Chain A
Amino acid sequence: MAVNGNGSGDGRKRLPVVDEGALAYDHPLYDTLLNVPGLSVATTSLDALLNWGLMNSLWIFPMATSCCGIELMAAAASRVDLDRMGTIVRATPRQAEVMVIAGTITVKMAPRVKTLWEQMPEPKWAIAMGSCAISGDFYRNLYAVVPGIDTVLPVDIYIPGCPPNPEALMQGLLRLKEKVALRRAGKLPPHDDRPGMLDVTRPSIARLLDPARDRALDQQQEDSALNASSFDRSDEPEDGEERAPDQLPDAIASTPPAEIEALLRDEFGVTELAPKDGAPVVAADKHVALARRLRGMGYQIFVYVVATHFPEKTGKVVAPERFEVAYALRTVGAGSKLVSWRLKLEPGQEAPSLVGVFAGADWQEREQWDLVGVRFAGHPDLRRLMMPDNWEGHPLRKDYPADKACPPWR
C-alpha cells in the first residue's frame, strides 16, 4: 500500500486487532481461573450470547445531513423495514450502536459529528452511506467539504451509491453484522489490495495527504474562480430589439420611492447610482445616519446586508479592487416598500456597523465578514459565523482558491 494512488488507504490507521495470546495477564487469579474445569465452555457460550445480542440489536443514530437521509428514512419504512433485523432509530447518541453518516459533511459540521460519535457508548460502529460521506464526492476538493468522513472517525462499512437505495443500507447493516462477528473472533475482515489499481497516477482523492499537490491545478482553479464572474452575454438581445423590463413587483424593485430619492439626494448627497438596478451609492460616513433616518420613516425591517468582492480583473474589465455592500430595509405590513442602497469600499476600509440601529444586523454582518472579509466598524462581536473559528481567509472572495488548505483536512 506504499504508493496507493487512490490515496485513501495510506492516510488512515487500521484499528489494531487484539491478539489475545500476546496479552500478559499478571494476576495469579487469572491462571487459577483458566484451570477451572468447564469455565472456558461457559465463557465461550456467554460470549456467543453477548455477541448474538449485539448483532441482533443494532440501533441506528442517524447522522443525516442531506439526501441520503431520505433513503435512510425509507429504509426504516415499510418496503425494507429495518426493524426486521432489530434495528430501530434512536435520536440520542447515548443509546445507539451504529452511526450512519448519510450526507455531505462540511468542515464546520465535522467537529460536531466527532462529538456525537464520542458521545456514543462502546461498542459502536460507523457506516458511511453514499459517496459524499465516503469521499466527499465531487465536492471533495471544495474548501468547505470534508473529503470523506473516515478522515474524522473510524468507518466500518462503506455503502456506495448516490444515494444508495434502502436495500443497499440494509445490505450494509448485514455486512456490519458479519464484521461484528469477525471482530469478536479476533479476525480481520477480508480485504485484498488489488494491485491492478495501484499504478494509477492521478489520485481520485486529490487533495487529501497528497505530497505532490499539483500547483498548476491550484493556479488553474484560482484563475477560473477569478474569471467566473464575467457575464455571459450570449442571451442578451441584439441591438435594435427592446428587452422587456424585469417584471419585479414594486415592493421588490430596488429603485427607491420618490420621497426617499429626494431625501437621499438632498440630505445625504447621493449622486451615484449603481449601474444595474439603480440603487443609490451612499458614502460610508453617512450610512448609519441614513439607516436611522429610514427607520424613523417606517422602514423597520432589516432585510439583508450582502457584500460582494470585485477583484481587479473581472473577465475583461479591469478596475480597482473594491467591495460593494448592499443593504435593504423594508416597511412593516401590507403593501410593504423596500429601499436599498450600496456602500463602496476600498480594500481594508471598514463599513460602519448597523447593529446599533437594527439588532438583526448582528449575525448578517458577521456572516458577511466571515465569507467576504468586509469588516464592520463598531460591531460588538465580529466573529466567524459560518466557517470554523480557526479558518483562514474568506471563501467568497473572488481570489480565494477553491481548494484552499485548511487544517486538519487539507
Chain B
Amino acid sequence: MGYFIDSLKAMATTFRQIFRKPATYEYPEVIRPRAERLRASFALPDDENGELACIACMACEKICPSQIIHIKSEGKRESPVTGKKRQYADTFVLDLTACIGCELCVQVCNSNAIYMVREQEVPGFEREDLVLNLERLRANAKSKTAAWAKGTVLQEMQELPKAEKKPAAEKKPAPEKKPAADATAAPPGDEKPAPEKKPVAEKKETPAPAAPADATPAAAAPAEAAPAAEAKAAAKPDAEAKPDGEAKPKEAEPAKAEGAKSDAAKEASA
C-alpha cells in the first residue's frame, strides 16, 4: 500500500513539473553562462607593445604533466617596436588532444603570456584539428573570454604560506615559553590580556623584518595560545575599549584565529 501512495506522490511531482519552465538552455542558440573558472582552451595574449608576450622561457613546456607544449625560439633579437633585445617564441604548439586542463602552465608563467579561456575549441574531424599553433592561440586571445586568472595573479595567491615559513623556522631553535608564561600570569578575568599580548607579538615580529605585517601574529601565535583563547570571551569589549590605534584591533583578529588554531593543535597532540 505504501508503494502505491508513494507512486501517487511521484506522479504528482512529475505532473507539477510539466507546468514549470524547463531548465534547458537550447545550446547552439542560447549559451549557458560559463563559470568563471571554466578552463577549456588556451590563448597567447600580446603585451602592452602589441607584440607576443611569450618570451619562450620554456617554463610551461617543462611543467606540463602531459608534455603537450612545444616551444621553439630562434634566440634573442631586437624588438621592432621598442628596440630592446628580447626572446620570441617562434613556434608554439599546444596539443589539446592530451591536455588535462590543470592550468599549471598558466601558473608558472611570469610574463602572463599564456592563459586559459572559457570557450571550448570546436570539435575536430582529425586529431590535428585540435593542435593549437601560434596563430590559433593568438586568435583565441582576441576572440575568447579569459578564465579566472593569469600567471602572476596565481603566483601571488600562493605567496602567503611562503612568508609564514620564515618566522616559523626561526621559532624552532628557541621554544618560546616566556610569552606563554606572561600570558598565564595575567589574570583571566582581566580586561587587558589581549592588548598586552599584542605588543609581545610585535616584538616577535621585529626579528624578521622582511615578513609582511599580517604574517607576524602567526609567528607568535602558538606561544600565545592559551591567553588568546581566554581573550576570546573578552575580545569584543577589548576591541571597543582600546581604540588607541588602528593596527591593534586589526591584529587582534588574526591573533585570535591563530590562537584557536594552535589550541586545536595542542589538543590533538595531547
- A residues adjacent to B (C-beta < 8 A): 4, 6, 8-9, 78-81, 84, 127, 131, 134-138, 140, 148, 150, 156-162, 164-165, 167-168, 170-172, 174-175, 179, 189-191, 193-194, 196-197, 199-200, 202, 204-206
Contacts and interface: CB of A to CB of B under 8 A. Distances in A.
Contacts of B135: 196
A140 B95 contact: no
B19 interface: no
Interface residues of B, number: 42
Given A157-B124, A158-B123, 9 more contacts: A79-B25, A80-B24, A81-B22, A134-B127, A160-B121, A167-B32, A189-B125, A204-B67, A204-B70
Contacts of A167: 27, 31-32, 120
Contact of B98 (A4, A157, A197, A204): A204
B131 A137 contact: no
Contacts, number: 147
Q: Which 9 A-B pairs have the closest CB atoms?
A: A8-B127, A172-B123, A138-B66, A135-B97, A78-B23, A204-B95, A189-B125, A196-B133, A159-B123
Interface in B121-167: 121-131, 133-135
A158 B98 contact: no
Interface of B: 22-28, 31-32, 38, 40-41, 65-68, 70, 72, 91, 93, 95-101, 120-131, 133-135
23 contacts: A4-B128, A9-B127, A78-B23, A80-B24, A81-B24, A84-B26, A136-B98, A137-B98, A157-B125, A160-B130, A161-B40, A162-B101, A164-B123, A167-B31, A171-B123, A191-B125, A193-B128, A197-B93, A200-B72, A200-B93, A202-B67, A202-B70, A204-B66
Nearest to B121: A160
B128 A162 contact: no
Contact of A196 (B22, B68, B91, B100): B91
Which label, helix, strand, loop or mixed, suits the secondary structure of the A interface? loop
A132 to B, nearest CB: 9
B41 A160 contact: yes
A150 to B, nearest CB: 7
Contact of B24 (A78, A135, A175): A78
Given A196-B91, A200-B93, A8 B128 contact: yes
B262 to A, nearest CB: 19
